[in-house]
Amino acid sequence: MKKEDKESTMVGFIEMFNFILLLLFSGCYLYQVVYVFIGLFKKEKPAAADGEKHRFAVLIPARNEEAVIGGLLESIRKQDYPQELISVYVIADNCTDRTAECSEQYGAKVIRRFNKVQVGKGYALDYALKRIDQEEGIDSFDGFLVFDADNVLDPGYFSAMNRTYSQGYEIITSYRNSKNYGTNWITAGYGLWFIRESRFLNGARMKIGSSCAISGTGFLVSSKVIRQDGGWKYHLLTEDIEFSTDHIIRGYKIGYCKDAVLYDEQPETFKASWNQRLRWTKGFYQVFAHYGKGLLGGILKRHSFQCYDMLMVIAPATLITLTSLGANLIFALTGLLTDNLIMAQTAAASLLGCLVSIYLSLFLFGTVTLIAEQKQIYCPKWKQILYLFTFPVFIFTYIPMAVAALRKKVTWTRIPHTILCSADQICSKK
């Protein structure tokens, strides 16, 4: 074969390879672009009227959180919801500080747990639920609200969740915002992603009657579901996604309450962010390995869009991007080493095109989110604009994490929290 023919063949192969990956990625995730239009233009159902006031228990897993837990407990105390219908339980999980004592000062019931083997939020929740069932009975409450110790709630949070619960939803997630959006590009990256998730993923799902997904903190589970599950049986590294996936497979429809707003503290250093998101990435792999077959069965047997949506959430999408980038880099280097400059140029152009297109797509998603949710982003406008440009970079950092999570053993590690503030103080940062 002539050199020109070999070059032409390799160029054609590279172009076809990238075209197939583009089709694969677009076919899997184009529906999320549709979600954006739904989030922007589809009218919301009229707000539900206030119904029966239900009795809720609050579960707060906490490890050495004396610096911030008072802020959450104070925000619960200031809810426009009957306090006699709220029972607060703080799970002091292997604490060595004054988390328990601080919680008791706010009138919370403290459940102390000491177990250095079974570590993680899921184990703490299960321990607390079994204690409550033994001492008071799970059915003493209509539902259980789960928060992280660093959270702060808007005053109307419980009332809003109660209205959605009264509509018949057994599992409900809420609007996740940030305490420290404007600190740096890392906290802004987290904040913009969570706001996008609330408005253009869960919000869109709710509008079309599909199932949402809980996101780490700020969610409600009915006592009926807890009873059926036998407590909290989810102990993978991302127990929230595991919980959502299992219940979607089982046919539950998870609701979303846009009017229930909470704020949580985002990691401010790249090291802390790396450790947290590496755990998340590893956890997504775990959920995919354990539940991927069940989701695929729901798609094929029940034609469940909810299962498809959840499969796309937990499927390692980053690996498709990584495959494209890695393959084109190898093609480019091979072309240089074999003196096939056309091959090298084609691969380099594909590599650059992939990076640019991803950056622009993420920038566009970020821009749309910023414009649509301007009122919910609490930092000066110049920072809002600046961090639009760094948002794609924040998401790009998932690529090396996706590689590391494939090989590295990952365990749960505590993320320190230090920001003590109220919802009013957060909202004054404009």
Q: Which residues lie below 8 Å from residue 87, measured CB to CB, with a gap of 6+?
A: 55, 56, 57, 58, 109, 141
What value does the mean pLDDT take over residues 257-280?
96
* Least-confidence region, from 24-38, 259-273, 307-321: 307-321
The pLDDT, as a whole number, for residue 256 is 97
What tokens were used for 66?
A: 């004396």
What confidence tier does 271 reach under pLDDT thresholds 50, 70, 90? very high
pLDDT higher than threshold 60 for residue 244: yes
Helices (H) and strands (E) in the chain, counts: 16, 8
Whether the predicted pLDDT of 258 surpasses 80: yes
pLDDT tens-digit map of 392-422: 999 999 988 988 998 889 888 888 999 999 9
Sheet of strand 109-113: strand arrangement: 109-113, 86-93, 56-62, 143-146, 219-222, 171-178, 255-264, 152-153
Cβ atoms within 10 Å, residue 342: 15
- Among 7-11, 71-75, 176-180, 311-315, the minimum mean pLDDT is found in 7-11
**Mean per-residue pLDDT over the chain, rounded:** 92
CATH number at residue 134: 3.90.550.10
Long-range Cβ contacts of 367-372 (<8 Å, 24+ apart)? 368/36, 368/40, 368/200, 369/192, 369/195, 369/196, 369/199, 369/200, 370/192, 372/39, 372/40, 372/199, 372/200
Domain count for the chain: 1
Q: What band does 5 get if pLDDT is binned at 50, 70 and 90? A: low
User: What confidence score (pLDDT) does residue 4 get?
Assistant: 63
Q: Closest Cα partner for 253 from 302, 197, 199, 210?
A: 210
Which range marks the domain in which residue 52 is found?
1-430
CA 416 to chain centre: 19
**pLDDT band (50, 70, 90) for residue 331:** confident
pLDDT of 279 strictly over 80: yes
Greater model confidence, 367 or 119: 367
Reply yes or no on whether the pLDDT at 47 is more than 70: no
Average pLDDT over residues 252-275: 96
E-assigned strand segments in 194-330: 219-222, 255-264
Q: What is the pTM of this model?
A: 0.93
DSSP state of 167: T
Q: What confidence tens digit (pLDDT) does each residue in 138-165 have?
A: 999 999 999 999 999 999 999 999 999 9
Minimum mean pLDDT among 10-24, 112-126, 362-376, 412-426: which range?
Answer: 10-24
Residue 119: what residue type? Answer: V
Q: What is the pLDDT of residue 322?
A: 81
Kindly provide the residue ranges of all beta strands, DSSP E only, lying in 84-194, ordered along the sequence: 86-93, 109-113, 143-146, 152-153, 171-178
> b/e map of 406-416 (b: 16 or more CB within 10 Å)?
eeeebebeeee
Q: Residues 6 or more apart from 390 whose CB is under 8 A from it?
A: 185, 188, 189
Residue 29 tokens read as 């995730």
pLDDT, position 296: 95
Report the candidate in 341, 316, 305 with the shortest Cα–Cα distance to residue 210.
Answer: 305
Which pLDDT does position 307 carry in this prediction?
Answer: 96
